[in-house]
Structure 1
Amino acid sequence: MSGNQAKAHQAEERRTTVIADDSSIVGAPSPGQSFPPEPEPRSARHAQWALALSESGRALRHPAVVAALLLYAALWAYEALSTGLDSRYPVLQDEDRYTQMPLLLLAAGALLTTHMAMTRMHRHGAEPLCEVLTLPPWRQTLAHLVAILPLAVLAAFVTLSRIAYYALAPTAVGTPSPVELATGPAVVVLAGCTGAALARFTTAVSAGPFAVLLFGALVLCSALEVRGMKWLGPLGVESEFAAPLPMNLRDRPALTHLVYLAAVSGLLALIALVRAGLRTLPARGAVALLAVAAVVAGAGQYRSPSESLDEHRTAAEKYPGDQQRCRRDGKVTFCAFPEFQGRTKDWRQVTDGILRRVPDDQQNGPYAVRQRLFFGADREGVTGRPPLEAWAKDDARHHTPSAVTVGTQWGTDEIGGDAMLSFAVRFSARVVVDGPARGGEAAPQTLCRAPAVTVLWLAAQATPETAEALRSLEQRSIGGVTLSTLGSSDSLSVNGPEAQVVRELLDRPADEVGDRLKSSWDTLVDDRTSTKEAAELMGASVPEDSEQGSEDTACAVS
């Protein structure tokens, strides 16, 4: 070997030795070490927040999050364009709860985003590079957990925007609950923490979608009221068919459920940190405390309603006048629970629409409308009878005799429309059948012949919404229409021939029919006047089965 070759060989050996000696400087773990040495606390925190900031931006731009927001916006836009605020009658203490379900889209995006971000290095085959990072795995995990918070802020912004949109409706009533509004963003945090904990147990890409399906299954079990699972999942789903209630009569453990979500989220976050190497005694103690808190809060959601709540509900059902405020508006006295005072404007549109079509001597009443609740509807599959006697005594005690019943449901959908039409028919029956000079006698359960035509037409033509509600109900009915009182067994019915006459009259000018009604009022409110005569007097064609349609019914001629 020449001298030059020997010198080159020695230089190469020196370079190899330097690289071997400096291997510990670039962060390669020494034998027996699981994680690289901890950097200085200050530099570690700076690197951790830098990583959290970077991952926050990635999370907000992730396709799963963007797709969830676009779908949410599409659903909202469709609702706004198809119905709009003018045709909505939101009850804000229910709308706050309805904001939670659409946020499951964003929660699913948070779960998938967090899981995919924490398994990114594994998917790209770059896991060995993590060993030379200045941040230990638990700090990296903490940075990913912090990156969930901007998604929760985004969820809170969407929630507040949506509830503000409903609150701007001129027909909005009630007050939203801050606890219910906070539940949706809390579910997004829970989903993100689930994705983080899942990533520390498995790097399988399919794990995230399976976890999303589990979330959906828990929500479905809550909606179907599977025994013992209503509050186990992220949301406690209530029946959309249930009538809205005043805040002090609700039985929703909203605050306890929020604590439960927070405890489970914290537990999952700590589990992810412990799995990532944070095995200090305080961390393990916090895991135990949060596990206990989650169990206690979870069990607390299933407490039975207190006796005081049952007593309050009974009092509100039988003697609503003690909890209501009344005011004279126009020719009618309206009484409502405090949260529903704004609804009296909508009730007045109906009552004014009816009274303007009747003779002057029938317009001044006295008439009264009282909002009522009924908790016995569909109780264990059996529909109960409302406490009519208690209601009559309550009306007499509060100087509103024979007040017409109206519920808390109101709207243009099938349920709200039926409630709107039911009130209109009952108020119309109060004017036509009972009359201000007849002592407030109770209207019969089945309206017959000419009074039935008069009552139903007055109710249907009161507003465009009541007319549309009658058309909708007829499409879902056979042989006439039946309108229950707050979902109870008490109802008012109109047979098919009379309903057919009214349907034709709705296609005629209301002023023309109204003039005919006023000129023949005494005849049309007489139950001895037949359906045929009523149709002729009001300018409608006579149904072929005007008499046969009453056979074997309460309207059969004796």
Structure 2
Amino acid sequence: MSLATKTVAESAAVPADDPRRAWAAVLALARFEARDLLRYIPVLVTLVLYVGYTAWRLFHQQDGMDAFPALQNADRDTQDGPLLLGIALFVCVNRCTLRSRRRGTDRQFDVLLMEPWRRTVAHVLSVVPFAVVTALVVLAEFTRAALRAGAVGHGSPAELAVGPLYVLLCGALGVLLARLVPTTFAAPVGVIGLFVFGVFLSAGTDGGEWARWLPPVVGETSMNTVLPSDLVGRPAAWHALYLTGLILLLTLGAVLVSGGRTLSLKAGAAGALALTLAGAVGQSAGVSPELTAAREQASVSPQRDQSCVRHGGSTYCAFPEWTGRAGDWAGVVDRVQSLAGGTAARQPLLVRQRVEARYGLDGDSALEPLTTPHQVTVGTRWGGNRVPEFAVAVAYVLVTGDESKGGELCDGRVVTTMWLALGGASHPMTDLANVRLDDSVTGSASVLAPTSGFYMTAGQTYVVRELLRRPQGEATAAVQRHWAELTRPGVSTAQVARVLGTEVPKGERDCAQE
């Protein structure tokens, strides 16, 4: 008899009429099986990768948009990490459950006092330590995001529970498969089958809400959309209930297949089925009329849900979760406006936070520009490229008067706009690349902004680069001194270059001149 078999036999050799000692033996067997799972390379490698990579991210300095997390998105970000660990556990728990069959020790187990169904319970419980580790990693990951100075919003405990529940679900499914199909080839085939089933759910059911929420982890098409917490609309609590019921159903199903026939087990299986169905029905209800109306209002009339504060001469209106970010926006506005001339240097602006919420988290539609003079749009994401893009929006409102004219900006005023947006930045050339669609600093390219951007010719790019190379004070004085001429509609890039003392490559023509 092998050492493993001997250990299990000693743990299981207890009187069957002593429930306390019987369950103590089940827990002892579960501890043994949990330690044994760590001997499997797939489990060990995926666990180390998951914990190690998450720990590296926790202690690594996060820059750009990662430094300004929205917690209603950060909770969902914790769900992808355990995916490989769950698959590894599914295969290896299945193999552990079939160990006695592979080694021909079923006959020895048959003479033990521990019933086969209790051994099945022990195999399911062996996955619990891995679910606990997953829960701790998820909690650490979310807590780190919540403690960032730039964090906004609110997370969902039900969304955070998905990772640990997924791990438990994979373990229970592996045990059930071992009891139904007692061969080691079933687990690899099962992985492929589950993948095909997931593809079918996403592609073969016309995107129905009932099918979309059947997989354990449900992502969103767009990773860029950040909505206020009360507009997210994901049935996270129902989904967590569905996963909990499914775990219990698979576990009790495996127990029943293993010979457990007590009335309490059958009643538990019926209750688990009811719990699973209740969660499945609840999560498939779709978007309520009330949420649809709230999303419509936030998209069309955001001022009804917002509060406004003043910084300097401008006003900043934001959804409740973002009111603390007005100071960051004001810093960009003050920097851009300090380089402007004429009345633009003192022009009060209204910065309004806007979001397209009518299509939910899957929507990634561009915002329509505001037509009211001196109003600037800012989005719900911040940091990274969003900062220079907002600076561009502020600059072309100061140059043209309102956002709706940004798309028409194709003459020499592009140079003035880009100088305002980038001239006071810490790393202007980097920001120039970040706001251009092709991440270049030479040639022609489209410039990005929170609403409509504009096109920048190669000649305009050249003039802007020459301005950025000059001392900031010198370039600022020239722009402010000739402000009226530089912001006149129809002014050519060649005229702007001559006024500012730079050259334009020959043959360049503005789109307004074509």
Q: Which of residues 529, 537, 542 in structure 1 aligns to 2:491?
A: 529
Give unpaired runs (5+ residues) of structure 1.
Answer: 1-26, 28-35, 393-400, 435-439
Which amino acid is 1:480 matched to?
A
Q: Which residue of 2 aligns with 1:480?
A: 445
Out of 430, 435, 445, which is 2:407 matched to? 445
Q: For structure 1, which segment, 74-83 or 531-540, has the greater mean C-alpha deviation from structure 2 after superposition?
A: 74-83
1:140 deviates by: 1.0
Distance 2:513 2:362 in 1: 35
Equivalence for 2:69 = 90
Q: How many residues align?
A: 496
CA 1:184/1:196 → structure 2, altered by over 3 Å: closer, same or farther?
Answer: same
Query: 2:6 maps to which residue?
Result: none
Q: Is the 8 A contact 1:219 1:233 kept in 2?
A: yes
Q: Does 1:432 align with 2:399?
A: yes
* Cα deviation code 1:248-298 (max 9, x no counterpart): 111211111111111111110001100111112332233233224323422
Match of 1:175 among 148, 151, 154: 154
Shift of 1:482: 4.5
Matched, 1:212 2:191: yes
Which structure has the higher relative contact order (CA within 8 Å, separation 6+)? Answer: 2
Measured in 1, the distance between the counterparts of 2:207 and 2:405 equals: 42
Separation in structure 1 between the aligned mates of residue 364 and residue 328 of structure 2, nearest angstrom? 32
Q: Counterpart in 1 of 2:508?
A: 546
- Structure 2 partner of 1:166: 145
Distance 1:519 1:402 in 2: 22
Relative distance call for 1:87 and 1:247 in structure 2 (3 A) is: closer
Structure 1 residue aligned with 2:207? 227
User: Displacement, 1:311?
Assistant: 1.2
Contact 1:422 1:483 survives alignment (8 Å)? yes
Identity %: 32
Contact 2:86 2:167 in 1 (8 A): yes
The CA distance in 2 between the partners of 1:354 and 1:55, in whole Å, is 63
1:301 match: 283
Which residue of structure 2 lines up, in the alignment, with residue 187 of structure 1? 166
In the TM superposition, residue 459 of structure 1 has moved relative to its aligned partner by: 1.6
> 2:44 aligned with 1:66, yes or no?
yes
Matches within 5 A, 1:333-412: 333-359=315-341, 362-375=344-357, 386=368, 388=370, 392=372, 402-412=374-384
Do 1:99 and 1:163's aligned partners in 2 also have CA atoms closer than 8 Å?
A: yes
Contact 2:448 2:454 in 1 (8 A): yes
- What is the distance in 2 between the residues matched to 1:215 and 1:538? 65
Amino acid at match of 2:485: T
Number of the residue aligned with 2:3 = none
Q: Is the CA contact 2:307–2:320 (under 8 Å) kept in the aligned structure 1?
A: yes
* Cα contact 1:532–1:543 (8 A) shared by 2: no
Partner of 1:40: 18
Distance 1:368 1:467, change over 3 A: farther
Instruction: Report the residue type matching 2:256 in the other structure.
Output: V
- Distance across 2 between alignment mates of 1:223 and 1:259: 21
Q: RMSD across aligned C-alpha pairs, in angstroms? A: 3.4
Distance 1:193 1:465 in 2: 53
Match of 1:499 in 2: 461
Aligned-partner SS, 2:309: strand
Alpha-carbon contact 1:482-1:492 (below 8 Å) kept: yes
SS of 1:445 mapped into structure 2: helix
C-alpha distance in 1, partners of 2:341/2:32? 74
Q: Tell me what 2:4 maps to.
A: none
**d(CA) in 2 for partners of 1:300, 1:526:** 59
SS, match of residue 253 in structure 2: helix
The whole-number CA distance in structure 2 between the counterparts of 1:545 and 1:221 is 55
Distance 1:212 1:432, change over 3 A: same
Residue 150 (structure 1) aligned to one of 118, 126, 129? 129
Q: Which secondary structure state, in structure 2, belongs to the residue aligned with residue 546 of structure 1?
A: coil
TM-score (norm 1): 0.79
TM superposition shift of 1:454? 0.6
Deviations 1:82-124 (A, max 9, x none): 8724662211110110110111122123322321221122222
Aligned 8 A contact 2:354 2:379 in 1: yes
Secondary structure in 1 matching 2:513: coil
Distance of aligned partners of 1:187 and 1:529 in 2 relative to their CA distance in 1, 3 Å threshold: same
Structure 2 unmatched ranges of 5 or more: 1-8
Mapped to 2, the partners of 1:261 and 1:381 lie a distance apart of 26
Paired with 1:64 and 1:339, the residues of 2 have a C-alpha distance of 42
Contact 2:376 2:403 in 1 (8 A): no
Aligned to 1:129: 108
**Partners of 2:364 and 2:88 in 1: CA distance:** 42
1:310 to 268, 285, 292: 292
| Higher mean C-alpha deviation, range 191-200 or range 217-226 | 217-226
Question: Is the CA contact 1:107–1:192 (under 8 Å) kept in the aligned structure 2?
Answer: yes
Q: What do residues 343-365 of structure 1 show as CA deviations (whole Å, max 9, x unaligned)?
A: 33432332232122224853332
Check whether the contact 1:107–1:187 (CA below 8 A) recurs between aligned residues: yes
**How far, CA to CA, are the matches of 1:94 and 1:338 in structure 2?**
17
1:79: how far off?
A: 5.6
Change (3 A) 1:260 1:441: closer
**What does the per-residue CA deviation read over 1:149-200, in whole Å, with 9 as the maximum and x for residues that have no partner?**
2111111111011112222333222121111111111111111111111111
Structure 2 residue matching 1:333: 3-state secondary structure:
strand
Preserved CA contact (<8 Å) 1:376 1:385? no
- After superposition, the Cα gap between the structure-2 partners of 1:66 and 1:385, relative to the gap in structure 1 and judged at 3 Å, is closer
Cα separation, 2, equivalents of 1:423 and 1:377: 23
SS of 2:286 mapped into structure 1:
coil
Structure index of larger Rg:
1
Residues 156, 184 of structure 1: 8 Å contact kept: yes
Does residue 120 of the first structure (1) align with residue 87 of the second (2)?
Answer: no
Q: Report the residue type matching 2:280 in the other structure.
A: G
Deviates more, 1:373-382 or 1:159-168: 373-382
**CA, structure 1 residues 539+192, in 2 after alignment: closer, same or farther (shift >3 Å)?**
farther
Cα separation, partners in 2 of 1:103 and 1:349, compared to 1, 3 Å: farther
SS of the residue corresponding to residue 504 of structure 2 reads coil
Q: 1:318: how far off?
A: 1.7
Partner Cα distance (2:73, 2:361) in 1: 22
SS in 1 for 2:225: coil
Identify if the C-alpha distance between structure 1 residues 447 and 165 changes in structure 2 by more than 3 Å, giving closer, same or farther: same
1:446 and 1:494 in contact (8 A); partners too = no
CA contact (8 A) 1:461 1:467 kept: no
Which residue of structure 2 lines up, in the alignment, with residue 556 of structure 1? 513
Q: Which has the higher mean CA deviation after the structures are superposed, 454-463 or 373-382?
A: 373-382
